[in-house]
Structure 1
Amino acid sequence: MKKNTSGPRFKALLEAANITTTGFAEFLDTAPQNVHNWYTRGVPAHCMEEVARKLSVSSDWLKTGEGSKDAQHLRLLDESGNTFDAQTIRGVYTVIEPVDVELPLYKEAVTTPGSNKTHVIEDPKQSIRLPRSHLDSLEINHADAICAFMSGNSMGEKIEDGSTLAIDRGLTQIIDGEIYAIEHDGMLRIKYLHRLPGNSLRLRSHNRAEYPDEIFRAAQIEEQNIRVLGWVFWWSTLNKRRPAVPFL
């Protein structure tokens, strides 16, 4: 059986948290002298789990100094589902496993002030949060995910103008009929893509009545700097109007 050498570690934890022996004793409903004695004698076996839990450390580490100091079981869920590491005595709560993932927002912007030429770049002032579960369920690397806004009605009734899009940059291989974000000579476009013979590419809009198919040969793809940014795996659509409530 491993020796209980918890005294110095227990004392250091209280000092680091600026907790007096009297204050900790009140929290445990015991005498201050008992707590003070633990500095030299060590935390009693029958109190070890409770003391470790209240100080958010592993009871094994507190007792022997071996293993991980962190107490993995001391993780609490809040109402939104975020996972917290809780130090009960100090009232310190740190999010260690957030439910949401913060994704960078990309947009089309002019290359230089006054220029008509654009490119697709990250907007450092904005980001979008998505549930981590959305990405994990599709096996998307969080670092590969970005967001953008839909501009125009070419994908109307499927993805409305102004919708927020999430894009997986890890999937740029074209799967026929899937929706992709592309950069077309500096312009951000959202289209169904289809591969055609001769390394040609068809861009298709959902709103085909107003936006006929576009076909680009391999040479045109290179000339017009068409590149696939990634697969569109999520989008939001806000209703255009709030319905009127009758009989009020």
Structure 2
Amino acid sequence: MNSLSDRLKIARKNAKISQSALAQKVGISQPSYQALESGKSGKSAYLLQIAQALKVNSEWLATGKGEMIKPLPENQFDENDFHVMEFWDSNTPLGDDEFEVPYYKDIEFLGGDGFESDTDDDGRRKIRYAYTAARRAGAVPSRVICLTLKGDSMEELIQDGSMIAVDRSKTDIREGKIYAFRHGNILRVKYLIPRPDGGLVIRSHNKAYEDEVITGDEMDAANIQIVGWVWNWSSLVVW
């Protein structure tokens, strides 16, 4: 993007926010912001605040250098990802930054030794997520479903009974990622680690469980089908 005007336009559209709403959030008048985005004004003392409101890299916005979205270090969260709790039901309209996904609550993927499920859960339950959270994670909203994790092999990271969000567009195996997958007739959630021979290592987070090794020669018989990448989960605290 060669101009501040161009960068403001793409960042605001990416954030799905109107000019007036952005101006109010930053604390300037709408005409003042409109002058920046139209190119009538080429500088502002509020660029840092605008960048923060749009969740973009302030250096990129001001100069065009670097990435538009500056990645956060692993396990660090943007304070803007936390919001005041709001109550809603199935009749509450979706917000501008929200999308709904089906929650197959009765389909349990096991974080343990295996679980076979033949439930008829039709996914009528819905869970809402923020587009900004999905974009930050790299998840594809239209391909996300929610399921239930059963068992203790992913503790202390994911607790027994937690809801997990699975992106079905991510079926390529990358080391260090957690996947929901079908292992024969068993539904499982584990770390999957590719082996040089074309096989897999199946790993639990709970150190009480040993790694399972499937060699390349054993892969066909193992009948492993990746459902998707587990990119989000609920934190369940038991009384």
TM-score with structure 2 setting the length: 0.53
CA distance in 2, matches of 1:226, 1:153: 21
2:210 to 196, 212, 221: 212
CA distance in 2, matches of 1:132, 1:121: 29
CA distance in 1, matches of 2:143, 2:173: 17
1:229 to 203, 227, 230: 227
Asked which structure has the greater RCO (Cα within 8 Å, sep 6+), the reply is 2
Higher strand share: 1
Is the Cα–Cα contact under 8 Å of residues 144 and 167 in structure 2 kept in the other structure? Answer: yes
Is the Cα–Cα contact under 8 Å of residues 116 and 187 in structure 2 kept in the other structure? Answer: no
Q: How well do the aligned residues superpose, as a CA RMSD in angstroms?
A: 3.0
Is the Cα–Cα contact under 8 Å of residues 120 and 187 in structure 1 kept in the other structure? Answer: no
What amino acid maps onto 2:221 in structure 1? Answer: E
Runs of 5+ unmatched residues, structure 2: 1-84, 110-114
CA distance in 1, matches of 2:145, 2:131: 13
CA distance in 1, matches of 2:116, 2:191: 24
What amino acid maps onto 1:145 in structure 2? Answer: V
What amino acid maps onto 2:200 in structure 1? Answer: L
Q: Deviations over 1:135-154 (max 9, x none)?
A: 12233221111111111000
Q: Which has the larger radius of gyration?
A: 1
1:195 aligns with 2:187: no
CA distance in 1, matches of 2:154, 2:172: 21
Q: Deviations over 1:87-112 (max 9, x none)?
A: xxxxxxx9475433211234259xxx
The aligned residue for residue 179 of structure 1 is 178
Is the Cα–Cα contact under 8 Å of residues 108 and 149 in structure 2 kept in the other structure? Answer: no
Runs of 5+ unmatched residues, structure 1: 1-78, 83-93, 110-115, 242-248
TM-score with structure 1 setting the length: 0.51
What amino acid maps onto 1:173 in structure 2? Answer: D
CA distance in 1, matches of 2:134, 2:196: 33
CA distance in 2, matches of 1:96, 1:161: 30
CA distance in 2, matches of 1:143, 1:119: 25
Residues 213 and 120 of structure 1: is their aligned pair in 2 closer, same or farther, counting only changes over 3 Å? farther
Residues 121 and 146 of structure 1: is their aligned pair in 2 closer, same or farther, counting only changes over 3 Å? farther
Question: Offset of 1:180 from its aligned partner?
Answer: 1.1
Q: Deviations over 1:33-79 (max 9, x none)?
A: xxxxxxxxxxxxxxxxxxxxxxxxxxxxxxxxxxxxxxxxxxxxxx9
Say how many residue pairs are matched: 145
